[in-house]
Amino acid sequence: MIVVMKAHASEAEIQAVVTAVEELDYRGHIIRGVERTVVACVGEERGEQHSLGHLVAFAGVEQVMPVLKSYKLASREVRPEGSIIDVGGVKIGGRKIAIMAGPCAVESAEQVESSADAVKAGGAHLLRGGAFKPRTSPYAFQGMESEGLSLLEHAGRRVGLPIVSEIMEAQDIELFVAHADMLQVGARNAQNFSLLRKLGRTKKPILLKRGMSTRIEEFLMAAEYILSEGNPNVVLCERGIRTFETATRNTLDLNAVPLLKQMTHLPVIVDPSHGTGLWTLVKPMALASIAAGADGLLIEVHPNPAVALSDGPQQLRPDHFAELVAAVKPVAEAVDRTM
């Protein structure tokens, strides 16, 4: 931690900072510059009692700058070779690209079975589908809930694909652990720390989506909540952030992909369906995601998007999904990955 003093900070103010710093078991080095004096604090910087952020409230202090990032277990440093997460036999994070696909929401047995056939035929490795749906409006379709999860499980087992579905609250953990292969935490719960902590006490693979306004470092801190409770099976998912741009539903931040791959050992996948909100952009952005280094894709596919109960505009038809997978293959090979 570096404490920068104001231009005219008094000697007493500087000493007060050093004293406060040393009371917290750091050593404080005073460096007198031409225009500013700074106090460099040496010691273990992470952890509750050692926070020095409050020093900004001291007289004579201009700013306090942290030197260390606050995530540890998610850091690339602890596992330079990268993590590979096993989801019902499908490996995510290795050389092979993993494709998760399926409808935004489970709407009926017929729709989910038809979706399962379509994504299996198209080349997906996991089947996704929403049983519990976080909808902006209380008047919109809220999902088929536990019945939807059963339908998804049935369809997945039938076609031989592990299933991924979104969990919205802690009370459903047991249900999801019993029936799903991977539990998705949605963008709106990306900083629901109570939920993250409890998911950290299971061993189930977690698909953690980035929040709409979550900075990269905060995203890793959210993962850290799960990891620090003992569950190492976390896959990160970039799904677009909220910006001033309104032509697309979100702004897909592909910078995040190579940046996260440098910062963390966790696998990183991309959801171009939410990241664009427009089905005509899904294929080019899926290709871009793989070229940027993503370990997989999450694609919304619906047997008939025009009658979908949610997110119709961004879901692909089965034939377009098959085209997408076919187009991903040569790009994956161009960046030394396989399908």
Q: Which is nearer to a second copy, 157 or 215 (CB)?
A: 215
Q: Which stretch binds a second copy (CB under 8 A): 110-118, 135-143, 149-157, 201-209?
A: 135-143
Q: Which stretch binds a second copy (CB under 8 A): 87-95, 147-155, 175-183, 276-284?
A: 276-284
In the list 31, 89, 201, 230, the residue contacting a second copy (rule: CB under 8 A) is 31
User: Measuring CA to CA, how many Å separate 242 from each of 212, 282, 300?
Assistant: 5, 18, 20
> Least distance from C-beta 158 to a second copy, angstroms?
27
Give me the long-range contacts of 240-243 (CB less than 8 A, separation at least 24).
240/212, 240/271, 240/274, 240/275, 240/276, 240/277, 241/210, 241/212, 241/213, 241/214, 242/212, 242/213
Euclidean distance between CA atoms 240 and 224, whole angstroms: 21
Q: Which stretch binds a second copy (CB under 8 A): 61-69, 88-96, 117-125, 318-326?
A: 61-69
In the list 293, 320, 323, 339, the residue contacting a second copy (rule: CB under 8 A) is 293
Per-residue binding string, a second copy, 210-249, x by CB under 8 A, is: -xxx-xxxx--x--xx--x------------xxxxxxxx-
Q: Which is nearer to a second copy, 38 or 87 (CB)?
A: 38
User: Measuring CA to CA, how many Å separate 15 from each of 18, 19, 38, 45, 190?
Assistant: 5, 6, 11, 20, 41
- Kindly state whether residue 36 participates in binding a second copy, applying the rule CB under 8 A: yes
Per-residue binding string, a second copy, 295-314, x by CB under 8 A, is: ----------xxxxx--xx-
**Site size with a second copy, rule: CB under 8 A:** 111
Euclidean distance between CA atoms 294 and 312, whole angstroms: 25
Which residues between 137 and 196 bind a second copy (CB under 8 A)? 137-141, 168-171, 188-189, 191-195
> Least distance from C-beta 183 to a second copy, angstroms?
15
Q: Which is nearer to a second copy, 28 or 156 (CB)?
A: 28
At how many degrees (to 10) do helices 256-263 and 279-292 cross?
30
Beta carbons of 231 and 199 less than 8 angstroms apart: yes
Q: Which is nearer to a second copy, 17 or 164 (CB)?
A: 17
Q: Which is nearer to a second copy, 68 or 121 (CB)?
A: 68
DSSP-derived secondary structure letter, 338 = B
Euclidean distance between CA atoms 207 and 127, whole angstroms: 13
> Least distance from C-beta 238 to a second copy, angstroms?
11
Among 76, 72, 70, 67, CA closest to 260:
76
User: Measuring CA to CA, how many Å separate 86 from each of 53, 70, 204?
Assistant: 39, 27, 10
Other CB atoms closer than 10 Å to residue 4's CB: what's the count?
Answer: 16
> Least distance from C-beta 88 to a second copy, angstroms?
26
> Least distance from C-beta 84 to a second copy, angstroms?
20
> Least distance from C-beta 236 to a second copy, angstroms?
14
In the list 18, 84, 159, 331, the residue contacting a second copy (rule: CB under 8 A) is 331
Which residues between 80 and 119 bind a second copy (CB under 8 A)? none
> Least distance from C-beta 157 to a second copy, angstroms?
27
Among 334, 215, 208, CA closest to 266:
208
Residue 323: exposed, middle, or buried by beta-carbon count in 10 A (0-12, 13-18, 19+)? middle
Partners of 31 in the beta sheet? 38
